[in-house]
Structure 1
Amino acid sequence: MLLEDLLFKPENSLVVQSMHSRLGAEAVNGDGFGVGWYDAQDRPGIYSSTEPAWNDRNLRELAGHARADRVFAHIRATTGTPVQQTNCHPFRHGHWLWMHNGSIAEFPTVKRDLTVAVDPALFPHIEGSTDSELFFHLALTFGLEEDPPAAVARAVGLIEETGRRHGVEHPIQMTVAVTDGETTWAFRYSSMGASRSLFHSTDISTLRAQYPDHPLLHGLSDDTRVVVSEPLGDLHGAWREVPESTCLVVHGGHEELRDFAPALVPA
């Protein structure tokens, strides 16, 4: 599909959300954006900018021409780290993409301890200064490329253990999306049990039967699945909320919900 079918055309598109988020922690997400997509190349392409998504002419031009089977897109409201391109999601490692909505609480306090836990071979690949990119490299350290749910659980376990050792009551707030281009894993979890919102679309063929004249549904295949922080529109029955402490796995036209909990990292 065209990138603009996700970024610009829906009633509550990501570009609209960058100006007027309904469910986000911040109503305006204007500290940059990023788009990652998979095509015929060995690794995904990325376009990112420190411009607000609504104000980037190049994004509109690109979105009207680029087609992809799998797209990651993120709008940013910084939690304190600088507004710069290397801090814009999605982050890439090989053929993997990663996005994080939320924060590691009191990041400056725990940053050093978490950084030294990153595999030394991975450390040179950290380009920016965000908690989200460091979180990604912790997951890679703990085996993301072999078992994403287990690796994220171990990374979250380390973040919580480190935070609480430094007196942080609720160390992490997260929804995370990660993909290898074939499967997407999306996680909803927070230390306080009140996580940022996360939704996934319902079966497209059912929606098409319910809304035969809706233009957004015309060009979508039956195995299309969309995972979002907030719904792209108000079609009744189109969206299901991902429960707290859950990992959503999407592969082809199938999705599966699994329980998610942090895991202790062996000493």
Structure 2
Amino acid sequence: MCRWAAYRGEPLYLEELVSSPAHSLIAQSHCATRATTATNGDGFGIAWYGDHPEPGRYRDILPAWSDCNLKSLARQIRSPLFLAHVRAATGGGTRRDNCHPFVHGRWSFMHNGQIGHFDALRRPMEAMLDDGLYGMRQGTTDSELLFLMALQFGLDHDPLGAIGETIAFVERLAGHLGVDVLVRFTAAFSDGHTLYAVRYASDWRAPTLYAAPMGPSGGYCLVSEPLDDDHNAWVEIPDGTAIIVGENGVDVRLFSPGEPAEPARRQRI
């Protein structure tokens, strides 16, 4: 499984998540502690927002620990909202087009998880895309296809609803084709203003997700696993939860595919 980290708040240097912490994302790329695989060496990527509506992005197929440019960029780039990802491939070759985050217009998206029997589902999923979005598909991963389908289902207008409808469609399709329904989905995505995250799995075995305050004033970090050993700082986000990090702080909601995301009465972050 992949590892990722995302931040929204007062501008921070990317190194605060990517390289500086004791258990930074680069450290997780070769020694993850809360994943089924410890090594995430099939590429990496970062997407960050600055003075333009669309995000900047840097991706490569090298392991994050071996790219000499990544630490330098992370030390110099300062952003109020960014996503970073290290990949352990479960499908799709090790190529730049398959590295997260994926971007389209102002949106960025990264994912940790899988779709069961994706080879059987891929063609009818791709058939749901209009010509414009189908032409945007560059890689071969289920993650990129989920992102494009969410755009098809209205990500611009109802982000959580579009993600829910996408997952519900995949689950219905698997049932219709007579294959086991399995979607494991822990993802972060943003339009440059708000940071969203969803943790969900059809078998209640979703990849991990944690949250903690970060930065000088009101910022929050969402990660696959904690960046340090301060256990009191990190809250594990339960399966079946959506997180919205915006100008007014953090909103926690219950998430179920195909249904409106409802406010959650759960532990505060």
Q: State TM-score, norm by structure 1.
A: 0.90
C-alpha distance in structure 2 between counterparts of 1:44 and 1:223, whole Å: 22
What residue identity is the alignment partner of 1:11? A
2:224 maps to 229
145-154 or 57-66: bigger deviation: 57-66
Alpha-carbon shift at residue 46 of structure 1 (Å):
0.3
Structure 1, unmatched stretches of 5+, are: 205-219
| Equivalenced residues, count | 248
Alpha-carbon shift at residue 166 of structure 1 (Å):
2.5
Give a deviation string over 1:4-51, Cα, whole Å, max 9, x none. 121111111000000011112321000000000001123110000000
1:115 maps to 126
Q: State TM-score, norm by structure 2.
A: 0.89
Identical aligned pairs, as a percentage?
A: 39
What residue identity is the alignment partner of 1:167? G
1:1-267 equivalences under 5 Å are 1-202=12-213, 204=214, 220-252=215-247, 254-263=249-258
Alpha-carbon shift at residue 171 of structure 1 (Å):
2.3
Give a deviation string over 1:203-262, Cα, whole Å, max 9, x none. x5xxxxxxxxxxxxxxx2121100001011111321111111111111136111111111
SS at match of 2:37: coil
Alpha-carbon shift at residue 87 of structure 1 (Å):
0.5
Question: Which structure is larger by alpha-carbon Rg, 1 or 2?
Answer: 1
Tell me: higher relative CO, structure 1 or 2? Use CA pairs within 8 A at least 6 residues apart: 2
8 Å Cα contact 1:33/1:49 also seen in 2: yes
C-alpha distance in structure 2 between counterparts of 1:156 and 1:164, whole Å: 13
8 Å Cα contact 2:53/2:192 also seen in 1: no
What residue identity is the alignment partner of 2:225? E
119-128 or 43-52: bigger deviation: 119-128
2:262 maps to none
Any runs of at least 4 consecutive aligned residues in structure 1 with deviations exceeding 6 A, and if so which?
none
CA RMSD of aligned residues (A): 1.2
Structure 2, unmatched stretches of 5+, are: 1-11, 260-269
